[in-house]
Structure 1
Amino acid sequence: MEMIETGEATAILPAGNHHSPVKVFGTEAIRATFDELCLQQAINSRTAPGVTQVVLNPDAHCGYGAPIGCVLASPTHVYPGPVGYDIKCSMSLLQTDLPADAVSTREIRRELIHAICRRIPTGMGKGARDVPKSRKVDEKLGAAAMCEGASSDVLAKLGIPTSWAERCEDAFHRGHDDSVDSLRQRLYELRQGRVFNKFRERVQQLGSYGGGNHFGECEVVDVVDQPEARATAEVFGLRDGHVAFLSHCGSRGIGHRLATGQFRALEAKFDQWGIPYPGNDKQLVHAPLGTPEADAYLDDMALGANFATVNHLLINQLVLEAFQEVIPGTQGTLVYFISHNIARQEIVDNRPTWVHRKGATRAFPAGHHALRQTPFADTGHPILLPGNPQAGSSVMVASEGARESCYSVNHGAGRMLGRRRAIKELDQKTVDDSFTDADILTNCRRYPKDEAPAAYKDFDEVLRSVEKAGLATEVARLRARFVIKDASDADD
């Protein structure tokens, strides 16, 4: 499979005579990181029923059915694969009023790590019962979070500032008929079956990180020294040379069970009706809009997405409380919360279309109609892109050229090494020493080798691809001071 270069950081991947090609964004060096399976998954996705566009971003690598780091657009069908198992896996950024030197000493950073870990559990299956200072969530509040998302009532009960909902890409999601009632009915049905037979335990994961690539990271904000970047940073609420906190997590076990149930249900329908799988890949099951199967998927996705939203906002509140315990008087505000595993209905080519972003981030520029009456109408919204602790992470803003990518960019650096290969090939002492040399603390006795910086693509080249393709520009770089991850071998 050969990509055809169309620019310094753009290319196309032919998908057959009857389909427009896959759009590819990445420099030559980045395109060389796309293996054959990743490209084949992109072609399978492009030729699947109802699909009108597929985009490969610089961080693309093979995933379930569709590549991670891709965008799939369809006006007629919904696809669980190009959303994935971790429904609404997302990024959020909390900006504090602390100057960088407030976290300069290792002693203070270690205290902050302990204070955060006393409030926010990490790892598979972990929830509020596993740490002493978490929020205890009962079944009623958990159900409300899933059905209402970041409603004023839910946020107030959890002690989260209600104004933070205004800093969310989507503060809530509704059911297939744009109502909350359909979600309440769907959740009732799921709780009667086997999907949520331990509902009380599962909702207690609200306010927790998962395993794998999920993390919390203390940052120092380094705003790009250009007038336009400084002006945009001010609108975003970023403070140059000050401490911020970046979080990456999703809908935890709730979302995974919802997605698993949907894959199984749709596979059973395909087998019952004798429908061929696109590319012979079961992970590309789908449902035409308006069918009971599509309605059920949209409802389940919304339930998982609402849980993920409240999970992130609660994490940020708990992080702020941890900072206030260690450094009394600390103030903090939410910069933004944005997803990279979700399907959203947007206007594409003047037509309502379900844009599936699998490991891809929405990128609306200044003047986009969807940003009217938001704080970002004149700038574009913040794009939060994690790189790795040693290369830093980035806050970007979309350019007009993002129209070419369905208003999407990558969701981070993207994997270079699979988890098993990273664990086999990377040296544990070298990984741990690299964090010591960079003066970056972690909560891990041994940093997970499958999450080491060397397991990921060159982040600077990824960002260069985005800028050279005309998709977005960098507003600030985030420099890590400490990292919180799941130290076990579990993968989310």
Structure 2
Amino acid sequence: MDTTHQMLDVTGPATATLSVGDSMSPITVIGTESIRESFGPQTYQQAINSRLAPGVSRVVLNPDAHVGYGAPVGCVMVSPTHVYPGPVGVDIKCSMSLLQTDLPADAIEEHTVRRKLIKAIAKRVPTGAGRGQRHVPKARSVDGSLGFRVATEGASKMVLKKLGIPKAWADRCEDAYHTAADGTSDSLAARLEWMGRDRDKLNRIESKYRQLGSYGGGNHFGEAEVVQVSQDPHARQIAEQIGLRHNHVAFLSHCGSRGFGHDLAMGQFRALKSSFQKQGLAFPAGDPQLVYAEADSPEGRLYLSDMAMGANFATVNHLLINALVLESFRDVFPGIRGELIYFISHNIVRREPIDGQTQWVHRKGATRALPAGHSQLVGTEFEHTGHPILLPGNPRDGSSVMVARPGAALSAFSVNHGAGRQMSRTKAKKNLSQTTIDQDLLDHDIVSNCRVYPRDEAPDAYKDFREVLDSVVGADLAMEVARLKAKFVLKDGAPADD
């Protein structure tokens, strides 16, 4: 056991604190004992580095925490004054969304039906790094003009209309659009126009627009699910209020801002590092991945503008994928209906009321968790239930839909964004058996679009999802209202044989 773990002060069955100094509030650690032991010394050290960084007022480690880019993946970092690109990452507003259909579960019991659905989706939604709509025959066409509006307006009525996305879905987004630091989309438009003055940059930007409506590689996925609503009367009532349908088919998606957001993030990392070097400033803990800016500085405002454009792209990317998935299901089941349950991010910085003041809340691999009655939900359809929290586990063990409890104040109104890796990609590829992985999925009646399921994305590469959920419930952060059982999976891989 590492010495950092021995320094933890256990405060409950799934909570602990880690002191970083007498004058600072400690790091909040969420997780059962076995989960806390899974973090390892480097994860704890990144959390300590983040807590000691300038302007930071709180850090939370969630149960899925593991080593990340400067700050751990699975952490929350709060500051009243500073913004940190590292705890947002290069996939700006990587997110989850859930589409609920009125299709009964038994309609997709046959493998042949699932294969038809996979083929129909594959004709509309590409997977993999660098892929875009030009690679599939039934994608939506996105030219430079529409891409510009997506980046600067997000899910505006005009953008939704142009892409054939139901306008009501914008109300089911954590944020349907993002603006520049001055609160306008005009400033985003001016920023993007300035970027496009260079012909090479403009060509690259417009090539990234064409990735709209696609999944990336790595841990991005689409999954057809069977919804299993909780049998607890209170949880079941909430599930029904937010639109979940027991024993019906839903579709869960995980992706973000694709190459467009990646380029914006990398440009900001380079610019901020260069600014530090020119000013002779020291990086926190000597780590350039913890580069920062004061939010109201010119550098901070530029970062927030670029992040907003990446976030707008991610929002519309998800909404378009869901529209295309519903269209694909209708190829096989004409006339079925579907409604977006929720769209929620886990790589973002937002202004939120925390500890009695408005602060910048950075969530890296962490998802917002506002309970019923929270001030930010007043006037929304989730005011009396709390908004849905979408927690992916893995195809074999399922995923979860939760709602926050008042106890989420402990974690800056945040929970983990999934299970979290317990093996690096390299270790998973080296140590996990391909035969065992593929057989495991078949044994659980799960099919995929991959000839060979990626070993680094196998269920055993991730932490025990049951233990992760026990941590969330044990810390009184949220309650489960439904479990999602995967029936087929779309990943970055070659199409499966018939």
TM over 0.5: yes
Q: Distance in 2 between matches of 1:27 and 1:196?
A: 49
Q: Distance in 2 between matches of 1:81 and 1:157?
A: 34
- Tell me the residue number matched to 1:404: 410
For residues 209-224 of structure 1, the aligned pairs below 5 Å read 209-224=215-230
What SS does the aligned partner of 2:102 have?
A: strand
For residues 312-351 of structure 1, the aligned pairs below 5 Å read 312-351=318-357
Letter in 2 for 1:359: G
Residue 393 of structure 1 deviates from its aligned partner by: 0.3
Residue 467 of structure 1 deviates from its aligned partner by: 0.3
Matched, 1:434 2:409: no
Letter in 1 for 2:293: A
- Tell me the residue number matched to 2:166: 161
- Tell me the residue number matched to 1:393: 399
Residue 17 of structure 1 deviates from its aligned partner by: 3.1
- Tell me the residue number matched to 1:102: 107
Q: Deviations 1:286-341 (Å, cap 9, x if unpaired)?
A: 00121110010000000000000000000000000000001111110000000000
- Tell me the residue number matched to 1:298: 304
- Tell me the residue number matched to 1:40: 45
Matched, 1:146 2:181: no
Residue 195 of structure 1 deviates from its aligned partner by: 4.8
Letter in 1 for 2:38: T
Identity between Structure 1 and Structure 2 (%) = 62
Q: Distance in 1 between matches of 2:435 and 2:335?
A: 38
What SS does the aligned partner of 2:196 have?
A: helix
The answer (yes or no) to whether the contact 1:72–1:357 under 8 Å persists in 2 is: yes
What SS does the aligned partner of 1:430 have?
A: helix
Q: Distance in 2 between matches of 1:383 and 1:283?
A: 29
What SS does the aligned partner of 2:38 have?
A: coil
- Tell me the residue number matched to 2:383: 377
- Tell me the residue number matched to 1:128: 133
The answer (yes or no) to whether the contact 1:41–1:67 under 8 Å persists in 2 is: yes
Q: Distance in 1 between matches of 2:421 and 2:13?
A: 22
* Structure 2 unaligned regions, length at least 5: none
Matched, 1:59 2:44: no
Q: Distance in 2 between matches of 1:395 and 1:177?
A: 35
Q: Distance in 2 between matches of 1:317 and 1:171?
A: 15
Residue 191 of structure 1 deviates from its aligned partner by: 1.8
* Structure 1 unaligned regions, length at least 5: none
Q: Distance in 2 between matches of 1:83 and 1:289?
A: 14
Q: Distance in 1 between matches of 2:21 and 2:489?
A: 45
Q: Deviations 1:260-309 (Å, cap 9, x if unpaired)?
A: 00000000011111111111111100001211100100000000000000
Residue 13 of structure 1 deviates from its aligned partner by: 1.2
Q: Distance in 2 between matches of 1:46 and 1:358?
A: 14
Matched, 1:172 2:177: yes
Pairing partner for 2:238 from 205, 225, 232: 232
What SS does the aligned partner of 1:267 have?
A: helix
Residue 18 of structure 1 deviates from its aligned partner by: 3.2
Letter in 1 for 2:252: L
Q: What is the TM-score of this pair, normalised by structure 2?
A: 0.97
For residues 269-284 of structure 1, the aligned pairs below 5 Å read 269-284=275-290
Residue 15 of structure 1 deviates from its aligned partner by: 1.3
Q: Deviations 1:373-422 (Å, cap 9, x if unpaired)?
A: 11110010000000000000000000000011100000000000000110
Residue 200 of structure 1 deviates from its aligned partner by: 2.2
- Tell me the residue number matched to 1:263: 269
Q: Deviations 1:88-123 (Å, cap 9, x if unpaired)?
A: 000000000001001000000000000001100000
The answer (yes or no) to whether the contact 1:70–1:358 under 8 Å persists in 2 is: yes
- Tell me the residue number matched to 2:73: 68
Q: Distance in 2 between matches of 1:381 and 1:172?
A: 17
Q: Distance in 2 between matches of 1:284 and 1:276?
A: 10
The answer (yes or no) to whether the contact 1:195–1:258 under 8 Å persists in 2 is: no
Q: Distance in 2 between matches of 1:268 and 1:66?
A: 20
What SS does the aligned partner of 1:192 have?
A: coil
Letter in 2 for 1:96: T
- Tell me the residue number matched to 1:443: 449
Structure 1 range deviating more: 16-25 or 110-119: 16-25
The answer (yes or no) to whether the contact 1:83–1:356 under 8 Å persists in 2 is: yes
Residue 230 of structure 1 deviates from its aligned partner by: 1.0
Pairing partner for 1:31 from 18, 36, 46: 36
The answer (yes or no) to whether the contact 1:195–1:257 under 8 Å persists in 2 is: no
- Tell me the residue number matched to 1:137: 142
- Tell me the residue number matched to 1:487: 493
Q: What is the TM-score of this pair, normalised by structure 1?
A: 0.98
Matched, 1:113 2:121: no
The answer (yes or no) to whether the contact 1:56–1:69 under 8 Å persists in 2 is: yes
The answer (yes or no) to whether the contact 1:445–1:487 under 8 Å persists in 2 is: yes
Q: Distance in 2 between matches of 1:14 and 1:199?
A: 45
Equivalent residue pairs, number: 488
Q: Deviations 1:112-171 (Å, cap 9, x if unpaired)?
A: 000001100000100000000000100000010000000000000000000000000000
What SS does the aligned partner of 2:254 have?
A: strand
What SS does the aligned partner of 1:86 have?
A: coil
Q: Distance in 2 between matches of 1:275 and 1:123?
A: 38
Q: Distance in 2 between matches of 1:157 and 1:53?
A: 42
What SS does the aligned partner of 2:331 have?
A: helix
What SS does the aligned partner of 2:421 have?
A: coil
Letter in 1 for 2:298: P
Letter in 2 for 1:312: H
Q: Distance in 2 between matches of 1:196 and 1:449?
A: 37
Residue 196 of structure 1 deviates from its aligned partner by: 4.5
Q: Distance in 2 between matches of 1:360 and 1:354?
A: 14
